[in-house]
Amino acid sequence: MDSIPLLLYAFVAAISGIVLRSELNRRKSDIHHIPAISSSGLWQYYTGGVRYLIHAPDFVDEGCKRYPGRVFRVPRLFSWDYIVSGTTLVDEIAAAPENVLSASAASQDEIELTIGPEIARNLYHLDVVRSNLTRNLGKCFPEMHDELVSAFEDALPSNDTDWKPVIVLPTMMTIVARTTNRVFVGLPVCRNQDYTKLVIQYTIDVAVRGQLINILPSVLRPILGPFISSRNASVRKGMKHLGTPIRHRLEQEQSFGPNGPEKPNDLISWLLDHELAGVQDKTVPIIISRILATNMVAIHTTSAVLTHALFDLTTSPRYFAALRQEAEQTVEELGWTLAAVSRMHRIDSFLRETQRMHDNGPVTLARKVLNPKGFKLSDGTVLPFGTMVNVASRVEHFNPAKYESPEVFDGFRFSRIWDDRRTGDEGVFNQHMISTSVEHLAFGHKRHACPGRFFAAAELKAMLAHMLINYDFRAEKEGVRPPDDVFGIVVLPNRRAKIWYRKRGD
């Protein structure tokens, strides 16, 4: 029995070596004109790939310094990744049509193996988020706020005004999961602890296991990917919580059609009603898969930004007074409404600056070249067919030509235009958290901008405003921001870091 893993490792190593040499030979003539952050030799290429897994941000920073405004290559274990830098070229990548530079093809293997092939073939849940969720945001906001209040009371309990420590990221993930699922699946499921643990663990599994699958050469992914993925186990667990309500919805639809009596206004209904939902999509396992997939994006992004924001706030406590004043005055005037959080320009600016300083990694806008002739950029560089392309987001976020003192956290960087009352300026609405541009890529840009950014922004602003009004916070170590965790090209807020909180007096 002990020899089986050894044989498996030997098989993987042998196949990997063959694939690696084949890849190098096949592409050598296509890529020599694009500079590399590593030697092209076989051993140097492989060791460079290992180092890139550990120090990806350093590789990207080095490439941007050595080849500013150009394309360069970084080694993955079994292929090259192409990194595009410079405002002009980044804009060309963002604007390219899907049939030439494909976002879906870039993550095809990962989505098929971690989320499911049925989902990968029809990503209509993204359109549901873009249209139904955004359109119903005002109607759903009261339930969202009700749930976040309850979630904070459970996660940050305090019957007195004593200071207490809390590990930030897992706590924020729990609060975000509950609040988000109040809109997605409703009561009582959203408050079920086992369900909350499921969607959080699924979020972590997709990110971590997806990275492991991407390390494999493409020929081995269909073979080994199913053993790495936790998709089937997650769907089985989801059946325990969502199987009965989804079956009831399907029965109601068969009996009364799409407009049945007392139909809930939630993600389940939107998924069933969407025009791209075929008969094959209206099964309990597939609907659960889509709910889990939608949770994955929502929980990961929102909890990371909220955690980063708390680290920034406790490290720079000078922002507390102005942010708290804005939250209290706006809520006093407009109540806890979508209109109220939409008017919280300083809180919006603080969160947007947090995103600028602490994105999810050094690169974004992953694309795969689908044109057999490659993709030609305006500087003459041709990205070969079948290659993976990313843009260097960090260099744009810290571009001194776009931002004054870009290395310095300035929480009100994007709200001054509102403070100056220059509301007639054309650029005023481009400073919102939901706005995308080449110099601010946290929510993507153009064709594939994050479809859920309107929901995420409203949720984040409501949560931060609630915390400001109801709690005091301080850093675990005064003036010290916890270092980020780095996993390949993924950068996350520190998973173990704490802050201290106390309930504010009436």
Query: Which residue positions form the known binding site?
Result: 450
Q: Where is the binding site for heme, in residues?
A: 450
Q: Which of 231, 210, 244, 248 is nearest to 292 (CA)?
A: 231
Give the C-alpha distances (Å, rounded to integers) separating 501 from 156, 240, 274: 8, 35, 43
CA distance 344 to 220: 50
Tell me which H or E stretch contains 61.
helix 42-66
The pair phi, psi for residue 139, each rounded to 5°, is: -70, -35
Using CA atoms, how far residue 227 sits from 78, 114, 441, in Å, is 20, 10, 34
Distance separating alpha carbons of residues 377 and 96, to the nearest angstrom: 10
Tokens of 477: 């170590």
CA angle 381, 441, 342 (to 5 degrees): 155
Give the span between the Cα atoms of 389 and 371, in whole angstroms: 13
Distance between CA 462 and CA 478 in Å, rounded? 26
In whole angstroms, give the CA distance from residue 368 to residue 375.
10
Contact 213, 114 (CB under 8 A): yes
Question: Cis peptide before 188, with omega less than 30 degrees from 0?
Answer: yes
Residue keyed to tokens 């994006």:
297
Please give the torsion angle defined by the CA atoms of residues 176, 181, 183 and 189, in that order, rounded to the nearest 10 degrees. Answer: -140
Is omega for the bond preceding 35 within 30 degrees of 0, making it cis? no
Handedness of CA 7, 17, 113, 361 (dihedral sign): positive
453: exposed, middle or buried (Cβ count in 10 Å: 0-12, 13-18, 19+): buried
Among 27, 29, 47, 28, smallest CA distance to 37 is for 47
